[in-house]
Structures are given as structure tokens and as C-alpha cells.
Amino acid sequence: MFTLVAATVFFAAFLLAAGTILGMFALYRDKMIAALLFEPIPQEAPIYRLRISRRRAEPRTTAVVRPMAGGILAA
């Protein structure tokens, strides 16, 4: 008797799941077809116009004195 009840419950659950899946396909069939056939509108790539200007370094009039690396160890 338990086997008969278990088989009936299992079969009813299977029918409910299959009915739900088929119902979803029936309700959303048009939307699924539209999504599969959708072609996005082509858009032109944006054109960026950049103007880069940088000031040139002026030549130095004074001599550059660089510290000696050995001076670190002299202390």
C-alpha cells in the first residue's frame, strides 16, 4: 500500500513539474522568440577629440650641483 501511495505522489509531483515547465513555455513563448531574434541597433563608435598641449622646459641658466652618494656614509 505504501508503494502505491509513494508512486502516486511521485507521479503527481512529476506531472506538476512538467505542467509548470510547459505552462512557462506557453506563457513566455513570444518573449523567448523575440529575445532570440533580437538584433541590437548598431551604434557608431564615439569619436574622442583630444588636444594635448604641454609646455616645454626652459633651459637652465645655472649649473646643477648634485650631492655625492658617499656623503651619506661620512656622518
At CA 70, angle to CA 68 and CA 75, rounded to 5?
110
CA distances from 30 to 19, 36, 63 (A): 18, 10, 80
Give per-residue pLDDT as tens, 13-59: 999 999 999 999 999 999 999 999 998 888 888 888 888 887 777 77
Q: 2-27 and 29-37 helices cross at what angle (nearest 10)?
A: 50
pTM: predicted TM-score of the whole model, two decimal places: 0.45
C-alpha to C-alpha distance for 66 and 75, rounded to whole angstroms: 18
